[in-house]
């Protein structure tokens, strides 16, 4: 966006379209009548403007004319056609990546399309520093730099928190942004290792439509449609739809999704949008594979194609939400955006946890080992089930402004956000089921099933509300030096109720927390191609993050009740880094040194273990982050992300080492799910005008599962390949092979089992534009 020479208050968007008609701005006295603006945020914006600027005379109260030129969303259009983007919205409003004093990795739409990253978890796997814990009820607890994202509680959609414990697809994603390091000043509770923001596709002022059909191994058929229609001079409608089916040798997938967005007033002083989103899934999940160990190493031995669950197993989810948004531009450099979202999220899982049966049930009465494993080895199956419903309502208003005050240039962001969640959960909905039959290693997908004889579930209830208020100012001391200071205040309240269940009495609990989250930083930008920064930020995890103690009984003495009585954990992140524009500004490089520390982690009190926990634990992770994305030559593009964490340790813990040396990590251990190296590479080269070839690697180093310090999962590398043929300007054919070498590896880990990484898959895609 560039300044229009006609007026300091003009908005100039550089596009190929001619200027739109001039729009007269409202008078200052009319500002309070703006619709959809929370009163507190509006007063905040008005007070900041009053303090920072000279009040004009009455005859000068009318603001200058705003001239608008816009064709579409610059961030999204770049993300669609490049592996690189130079701007992001993850820092509350659109910012250049060079102005964000933390590591940010952006997976663009081009990268997701090139690699056929259809499932959101596959996108995260291309992000260095991300690992997964295989949860007891099928969800993956995402880790970033070794710190939990709270069972995906730190995942956002367009800056608003997404519901945890749900399935996600990328059919409506324009990009995925990962901000690494503590970020509670921006996002509130959680965000210890960082946050992930899913950027939705937005309508833009152009008629353009796209259909993509993919067929692949495992009887995959996926069809997506992206339809953008310019409906007026400043309005557009966009609809994205998806259907995806595959049998995956028994672990079936059936997904359907639709997202519709309508924007009007695009580029004018007042811009509005409304969006609807719905995704539903119905399939049979591959819950886990069992392991045995050799010399302290986990040995994945069963093919990732082998499904040992029951035909009656299922995973059904639904996510539906509506979003309303209003953007008011006070001037070229001052705007207030307000967003309201309400969503309903449902998850119903019935799956089979698979284990090697005891020695007495094995052929010859011999336990299964690497030497005795055979097609006749017996596997046991036990039911795991969860049912949950969530209603989540959020209101967020963010104000940004650039102004002169006290002889310095200031760039301010400030805002208020409110959220309310009403959830019901049963984390072990198996009562009444008959025992599952055993199976054998040599007979995967054996067709066995059990009848669902369960009674309606008893549901724990969870209500939580949060109000947050934040402000951050970036002060330009000189043309090259900037200082950043921010502060956030949060008030969090939660109530929990567990109904009576058999001999367990009903129990309830309430708590509230008030927290302060600072952020400090400095930028040195000697020219447009270099940026150096230092930053400090904090985060906290309340006991109510992602229902950490709302899933089981809250009876006195239970572990959930002990957790409920514990104050929030706190963390901090220090980072030094630099960001460069290379190869004639066609590629971006970021290098950072970070130190992330959780300095009051929850630990069991050894003197009163049955009644309370202590904030006595401490852990840290210290390392470097590397990001490279863009075009090396006109024909050669690259995306590379590497996280190196050589120093990570449990510094303090009340957990004692048992006689066998097994169990949870103790003081001095390396934290679980924190490999020293993790990296992702994707590169393409146009070998001829109509041919483009691509290749990629995903690497994850050796790591421990949570709760099993004595064993490690081996490092692994998967290889991907792509060949794309351009038929004409509107048609392309693309062949993808993922996990080219059919690597057998443990992807998500738990203390007694693992989720296998996907087997080799071949996909052929046809895309047409019209």
Structure token digits, residue 71: 């064709």
Greater model confidence, 542 or 440: 440
Q: How many CA atoms lie within 13 A of 641 on its CB side?
A: 24
Given a cut of 80, whether residue 256 has pLDDT beyond it is yes
pLDDT in tens, 147-173: 887 665 789 999 999 998 889 999 999
- Helix boundaries (H) for 87-174: 109-114, 120-125
- Enter the pTM of the model: 0.88
**Per DSSP, what are the bridge partners of residue 560?**
none
At 40 the pLDDT is 41
Residue 613 binned pLDDT confidence (cut-offs 50, 70, 90): low
Cβ burial, residue 442 (10 Å; 0-12/13-18/19+): exposed
The pLDDT of 210-232, averaged and rounded, is 97
- What single DSSP character describes residue 703? B
Coil, helix or strand at residue 376? coil
What are 617-665's pLDDT values in tens digits?
Answer: 899 999 999 999 999 999 999 999 999 999 999 999 888 899 889 988 8
pLDDT digit string (tens) for 230-255?
999 999 999 999 999 999 889 999 99
Q: Report how far residue 329's alpha carbon sits from residue 270's, in angstroms, rounded to the nearest whole number.
A: 6
List Cβ neighbours of 364 (8 Å cut-off, separation of 6 or more): none
Q: Which of 68-77, 416-425, 473-482 has the lowest mean pLDDT?
A: 68-77
Query: Partners of 539 in the beta sheet?
Result: 571
Q: What tens digit of pLDDT does each residue of 480-529 get?
A: 999 999 999 999 998 888 888 877 888 888 889 999 999 999 999 999 99
Please say whether the beta carbons of 614 and 605 come within 8 A.
yes
Give which of 87, 86, 77, 88 is closest to 110, Cα–Cα. 77
pLDDT value, residue 3: 36
Asked whether the beta carbons of 379 and 358 are under 8 A apart, the reply is no
Task: Pick left, alpha or beta for residue 92 (phi over 0 → left; psi -120 to 50 → alpha; otherwise beta).
Answer: left
Rounded CA-CA distance 417/93 in Å is 14
- Per-residue model confidence (pLDDT) at position 134: 87
Strand boundaries in 441-506, DSSP class E = 460-476, 481-498
Domain ranges of the chain: 75-368+378-769
Q: What is the pLDDT confidence band of residue 69, given thresholds at 50, 70 and 90?
A: very low
In angstroms, the Cα distances linking 18 to 21, 233, 310 are 9, 11, 61
If pLDDT is split at 50, 70 and 90, which confidence band does 77 have? low
User: What is the rounded average pLDDT for all residues in the chain?
Assistant: 86
Cα 416 to Cα 31, 180, 329, distances in angstroms: 19, 23, 18
pLDDT, tens only, 582-593: 999 999 999 999
- Which of 572, 517, 512, 515 shows the shortest CA–CA distance to 543? 512
- 766 contacts 730 by C-beta, under 8 angstroms: no
Strand partners, 474: 411, 484
Q: Tell how far CA 3 is from the center of its chain.
A: 34
Confidence of residue 75 (pLDDT cuts 50, 70, 90): low
Residue 666 — φ and ψ, nearest 5°?
-120, 175
Q: Which CATH number fits domain 75-368+378-769: 2.40.170.20, 3.40.30.10, 3.40.50.300, 3.10.150.10?
A: 2.40.170.20
């Amino acid at each position: 966006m560039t300044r229009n020479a006609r007026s300091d208050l003009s908005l100039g968007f550089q596009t190929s379209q001619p200027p739109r008609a001039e729009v007269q701005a409202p008078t200052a006295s009319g500002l309070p009548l703006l619709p959809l603006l929370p009163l507190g945020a509006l007063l905040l914006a008005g007070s900041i403007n009053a303090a920072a600027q000279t009040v004009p005379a009455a005859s000068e109260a009318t603001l200058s004319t705003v001239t608008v030129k816009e064709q579409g969303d610059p961030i999204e259009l770049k993300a669609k056609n490049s592996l690189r983007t130079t701007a992001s919205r993850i820092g509350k409003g659109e910012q250049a990546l060079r102005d964000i004093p933390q590591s940010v990795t952006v997976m663009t739409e081009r990268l997701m399309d090139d690699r056929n990253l259809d499932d959101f978890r596959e996108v995260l796997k291309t992000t260095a520093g991300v690992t997964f814990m295989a949860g007891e009820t099928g969800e993956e607890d995402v880790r970033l730099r070794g710190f939990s994202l709270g069972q995906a509680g730190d995942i956002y959609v367009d800056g608003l928190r997404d519901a945890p414990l749900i399935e996600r697809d990328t059919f409506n994603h324009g990009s995925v942004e990962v901000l690494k390091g503590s970020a509670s000043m921006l996002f509130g509770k959680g965000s210890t290792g960082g946050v992930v923001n899913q950027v939705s596709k937005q309508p833009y002022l152009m008629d353009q439509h796209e259909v993509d059909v993919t067929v692949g191994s495992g009887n995959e058929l996926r069809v997506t449609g992206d339809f953008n229609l310019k409906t007026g001079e400043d309005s557009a409608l966009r609809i994205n739809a998806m259907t995806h089916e595959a049998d995956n040798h028994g672990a079936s997938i059936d997904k359907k999704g639709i997202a519709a967005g309508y924007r009007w007033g695009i580029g004018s002083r007042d811009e509005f949008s409304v969006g609807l989103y719905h995704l539903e899934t119905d399939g049979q999940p591959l819950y886990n594979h069992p392991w045995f160990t050799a010399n302290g190493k986990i040995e994945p031995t069963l093919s990732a194609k082998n499904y040992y669950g029951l035909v009656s197993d299922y995973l059904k989810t639904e996510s539906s939400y509506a979003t309303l948004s209003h953007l008011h531009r006070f001037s070229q450099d001052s705007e207030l955006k307000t967003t309201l979202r309400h969503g309903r999220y449902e998850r119903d899982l019935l799956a089979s946890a698979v284990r090697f049966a005891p020695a007495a049930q094995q052929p010859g009465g011999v336990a299964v080992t690497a030497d005795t494993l055979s097609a006749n080895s017996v596997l046991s199956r036990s039911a795991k089930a969860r049912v949950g419903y969530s209603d989540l309502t959020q209101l967020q208003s963010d104000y940004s402004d650039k102004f002169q005050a006290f002889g310095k240039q200031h760039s301010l962001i400030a805002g208020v956000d409110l959220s309310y969640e009403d959830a019901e959960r049963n984390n072990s909905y198996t009562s009444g089921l008959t025992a599952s039959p055993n199976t054998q290693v040599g007979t995967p997908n054996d067709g066995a099933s059990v009848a669902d004889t369960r009674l309606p579930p008893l549901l724990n209830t969870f209500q939580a509300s949060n109000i947050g208020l934040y402000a951050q100012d970036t002060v330009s001391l000189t043309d090259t030096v900037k200082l950043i200071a921010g502060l956030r205040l949060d008030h969090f309240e939660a109530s929990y109720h567990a109904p009576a269940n058999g001999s367990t009495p009903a129990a309830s609990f309430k708590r509230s927390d008030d927290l302060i989250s600072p952020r400090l930083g400095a930028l040195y930008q000697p020219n447009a191609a270099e940026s150096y920064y230092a930053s400090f930020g904090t985060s906290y995890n309340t006991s109510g993050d992602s229902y950490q103690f709302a899933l089981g009984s809250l009876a006195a003495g239970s572990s959930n009740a002990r957790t409920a009585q514990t104050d929030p954990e706190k963390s901090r992140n220090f980072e030094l880094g630099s960001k460069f524009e290379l190869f004639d500004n066609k590629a971006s490089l970021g290098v950072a040194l970070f130190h992330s520390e959780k300095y009051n982690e929850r630990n069991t009190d050894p003197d009163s273990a049955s009644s309370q926990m202590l904030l006595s634990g401490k852990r840290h992770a210290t390392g470097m982050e590397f990001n490279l994305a863009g075009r090396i030559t006109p024909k050669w593009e690259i995306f590379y992300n590497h996280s190196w964490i050589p120093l990570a340790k449990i510094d303090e813990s009340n957990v004692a080492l048992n006689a066998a040396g097994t169990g949870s990590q103790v003081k001095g251990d390396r934290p679980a799910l924190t490999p020293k190296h993790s990296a992702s590479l994707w590169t393409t080269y146009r070998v001829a005008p109509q041919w483009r070839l691509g290749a990629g690697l995903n690497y994850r180093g050796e790591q421990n599962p949570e709760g099993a310090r004595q064993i490690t999962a081996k490092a692994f590398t998967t290889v991907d390949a792509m060949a794309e043929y351009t038929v004409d300007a509107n048609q392309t054919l693309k062949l993808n092979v993922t996990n080219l070498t059919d690597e057998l590896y443990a992807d998500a880990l738990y203390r007694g089992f693992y989720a296998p990484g996907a087997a080799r898959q071949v996909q052929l895609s046809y895309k047409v534009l019209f």
